Each structure stands twice: as structure tokens, then as C-alpha cells.
Amino acid sequence: TFYACADGVGEVSEWSLENGWDDCADGSDELPDAEGALERVVLATVNAGGFNEQDVNDDGTDDHCYVAEVTVTGDDGSSSTHLMKGTGWGFESVDLGNVDDLTYRGYAADGAIHQYGVPTSGCWDASVADIQSTGLVASSPTIESDGAVKRLISHGSMWTDDDWLQVSVSFEAAYHDPAEYTLEFELLDEMGNVEAASQMSVAPTSDDRVYSVQDSMYLADGLDAGEYCGTFELVDAQGVTVDTSDVAECMTVEELPEFLQELQTIGEAFGESNFESTLEAFGENLEDRLGSITEDIAYTNANFAMLWSPTHHTVVGVALGVSDNMDTWYTLVGPEVVEMYNDDINYSPSTPPATIGLNYYIGSAAEEAAEVVEDAQSVDDIADTSAHAEGMGDLAQVLEDAGVDPADVGIDEEDTQTDGSSDGSSDDEEPPATAEELIEEGGFGLPSVSGLATVAVLALAGIVAAQRNRDEE
């Protein structure tokens, strides 16, 4: 970057402004706020690049001189040819002119390197004309490059981050161009529909030339499966598009497996429903109804555990442990195990003092129970309500108090009466196999719970939700 002297004679670099020395003949470079007072001149240059070996024998004298002949073709169709003298390690650059005066933004450079003899003055002190006067020895058409004199889009990229679309763009010739622009981005689907869009401001300052810009766009509804491509447009202050570019690589959104789509649909449905508020209201109602119960609570703490078999190196079941007010822990729900190891809890092998109506199945029994539950339409289908007659009566009464007909959920009034009959079981029956025995037989399956336990779990969830709501208040 240079600044023209006020008298129009010569230019000085930005480092010469107000440095205590008169670099301009009229001393205008030392004016107060010289940077603002003088015309800013940005000179565009071109160089052939490459390496040319003048001293082939490495004896301290030149054996050949080189001249690069380069044609610069602007993106507006204009062209100019320049000759550049070799320096031994490269070529001297040539000024293309003041950037503000050039009619093009980008250019392509191509040409050849010519080898000549050595003038009496040597290569370094000779002019291009002196070198050419020695006669052409050989030519090599090896120059091919491109560049920019004003701001252009160099590279653009995009990627997704969860529900966000991220874009990033870098520029060429940002240092040369102080003008303001707007970078417009559009994400297009396979049909050309705009799925996301953004406008990014490009406002350079003396401290920040804006070599790149970034933006984030929230994809509220996500993207459907398919291919998506991005386009960028650089628009100047007058609303004229001066450059366009496509994202280097389009991105493909894969279609989710069917089961994940179903889970997503279920999750979205829960999110849009009033399930949480309904559960809280249910919990508050239930807690109010149970608030008058004064019976002692059998257990004061609980712990859910995954059961791991060190012999088989796999999970063989789950268990619900509970502790009483003496901090004695029991296995309330779980398979028959020889011993449970836990660094923090010592489980008692004794039978819990208070049990619940929950059946735990493993192996083939669990698989059979799962098949039954899948087609169940009422409580009778999944639980032996006659074995819980007293509890079913209480449950029926609670449902009636809540305005629900017990028959609507499959609770028969006859099932709420005990008849003293036996289910025909015998103390001589063979005890169920342990989890490790079942896994050795290849019959291990998932645990299953009875319908009454399902009701209990929902009730507990409601109470917890209601309690959490009050804690937050």
C-alpha cells in the first residue's frame, strides 16, 4: 500500500507517513493525519515465480541470463504483456497499476521463460533490452498461474453440527480491497429449493482486512435425506454481484433406518404433547389421596443394579435393592443369585421383610411373557389378579374415586374377592434356575414385570414428577 504525495509527484509507503522524514518533495507525508489526507494507492503486481540458474558452473560468473514473458488476462477480457528480468532465484515483479484503476478483479497469467547469453555488464546490472540483444538460446513455456487484484471468493465450505449448519469462506486480495461487501449464502436441495440462507457483512478496517467470514444457521426441522449444495455470492455496496462460487463439496444426508425414524416420531410426539403436565397432575392427585396413609414405610432407600457375571463376562440380569431403617439391604426384585458384590452396599441373603406383587422372569420364561404382553388388552391378560385380590380391590377403589371404571382397564369385580382357593402349587416344585445356569443353557432373556408393577411404576413416576415440580417452585 502506498500514498500519493500531495503535489502528484511520487508515492511513499505507509511506513513513511509521519515518521519524521520528508519522503515526499513537498513534505506532505509529514502532514497531521497524512493517512487520511493523502490518496491511498494500492499497487497490484505480478511475478513469474520459479527459479533460474545463471551461474551453472558455480564459478562466480553468469553463464546465462533469463527473461520471463508473461501475459496477464483479466476476467473482463483485457490483457497486457510484461517482461521480467531473472534475478538468479526468481524474477523481478512488475506493477500492473493502481488497483482502483484496474477494470478487472481476477486474472490469469501464462507465458514462457527465455534463455539468453550474458551481456558484458552481467545479468544483474543489465536491462531486459541488453539481455535480449545477446540473442535467444532457448524457451520454456512453463508459466501458468492466476491471481486477484480485488476481493474475490477463494474457498467456501459448509458442515453440520447437530442442528446447526456452519459455513466458512476465505477471500483473495483482501489486503488490497478496503471496500465493503455482503456475502450471501444459500443451501439448495436436489430440486434447487432453498433450505437455508444467510447474509454476512464484509466491512474491512485498517486493523482488520477481513480475510474470512463464518456463520451458523439453525436447522429447526433438520434436513431430509438427499444431497445438498451451497452457493456464495459476493455483492458490492451498489448491490452488484461481483463474484460467485460453489461450496467445494456438496453434502449428503443419509436416510435414517426405519426403527430410528419411528423413535424420532415418538420423541417428537411426546415433545409436542402435554404428557409431562398430565403426569404431574396425576402425581399430585395421587399424592393427595395417599397423604392420609399412616402406615410405616418398609424401606428408606433403593438402588438399581445391573448384574454382571464374572464367569461369563456379560450382564445376566437386573435387580432392585432396598434398605430398611437399619441400613440392611435386600434384593426386592431380581433373579436368584448366589451372592451380589458391591463396593458400597452389602446385600443380605435374607428374604425382604415386605414384598411387592411383581414377577421376575429370565430365560425362555421372559420370552414367553413378552409374547403374552405384546397382545395384552387388559390387566387380566398380563397378571394373575386372583393372587392379588385384596390389592386389586384397593386399586379398583382408587380408580373409581378417580372417576375411572375398573372394567375399562380389564379389572373384573370378581377378581377383587378372595375365595381362599389354592393355585395348586406345591412346595416340592423344582426351584427356578439361576441366571448363570440359564445363560450356560443358552436360554437367557430379558426380565419381565407384571401389570401391577407397571401401574406401580407409573404411579411412582407421577409422584416424582409432582415433587420435582414443587421443588422447582
- Same domain membership, residue 314 and residue 341: yes
379: pLDDT strictly greater than 70:
no
Q: Is residue 236 part of a domain?
A: yes
- Same domain membership, residue 303 and residue 217: no
- Same domain membership, residue 175 and residue 132: no
Say what the pLDDT of residue 333 is: 83
Q: What percentage of the chain carries pLDDT values higher than 90? A: 32
Confidence label for 463 from pLDDT (cuts 50, 70 and 90): very low
Say what the pLDDT of residue 165 is: 94
pLDDT in tens, 139-182: 987 788 899 999 999 999 999 988 899 999 999 999 888 899 99
How far is CA 312 from its chain centroid? 39
- Same domain membership, residue 364 and residue 216: no
pTM of the full predicted structure?
A: 0.52
Q: How far apart are the first and last CA of the chain?
A: 64
Say what the pLDDT of residue 426 is: 46
The three cell numbers of residue 280 are: 404431574
Where is the domain boundary, 253, 278, 310? 253
- Same domain membership, residue 339 and residue 230: no
Q: Torsions phi, psi of 67, nearest 5?
A: -135, 130
Q: How far are the Cα atoms of 151, 435, 456, 472 from residue 465, in angstroms, in the given order?
A: 59, 34, 14, 11
Q: Torsions phi, psi of 109, nearest 5?
A: -120, 130
391: pLDDT strictly greater than 60:
no
Q: Is residue 8 part of a domain?
A: no
pLDDT mean over 405-433: 55
Q: Torsions phi, psi of 334, nearest 5?
A: 160, 170
Where is the domain boundary, 128, 148, 168? 148
The string of DSSP letters for 228-250 reads: EEEEEEEEETTS-EEEEEE-SS-
* Nearby residues of 312 by Cβ (< 8 Å), 6 or more positions away: 436, 439, 440
The three cell numbers of residue 313 are: 463376562
- Same domain membership, residue 278 and residue 383: yes
* Number of separate domains in the chain: 3
Where is the domain boundary, 148, 176, 206? 148
Lowest mean pLDDT among 89-98, 233-242, 247-256, 376-385: 376-385
Q: Is residue 20 part of a domain?
A: no
- Same domain membership, residue 168 and residue 144: no
Confidence label for 449 from pLDDT (cuts 50, 70 and 90): very low
pLDDT mean over 457-473: 48
C-alpha 79/C-alpha 105 separation (Å) is 13
Say what the pLDDT of residue 162 is: 82
pLDDT mean over 401-424: 58
461: pLDDT strictly greater than 70:
no
Confidence label for 454 from pLDDT (cuts 50, 70 and 90): very low
pLDDT in tens, 105-114: 999 999 999 9
C-alpha 434/C-alpha 427 separation (Å) is 18
Element (H, E) at 201: strand 194-202
Who has greater pLDDT, 329 or 289?
Answer: 329
Q: Is residue 24 part of a domain?
A: no
Indicate which CATH number applies to the domain containing 245: 2.60.40.10
- Same domain membership, residue 276 and residue 130: no
Q: Supply the Cα-derived Rg of the chain in whole angstroms.
A: 42
Q: Is residue 33 part of a domain?
A: no
- Same domain membership, residue 217 and residue 128: no
- Same domain membership, residue 458 and residue 362: yes
Q: Is residue 13 part of a domain?
A: no
Q: Is residue 26 part of a domain?
A: no
The domain containing residue 424 runs over which residues? Answer: 270-472
- Same domain membership, residue 397 and residue 281: yes
Q: What is the mean pLDDT of the chain?
A: 79
- Same domain membership, residue 309 and residue 438: yes
Q: Is residue 262 part of a domain?
A: no
381: pLDDT strictly greater than 80:
no
Say what the pLDDT of residue 412 is: 62
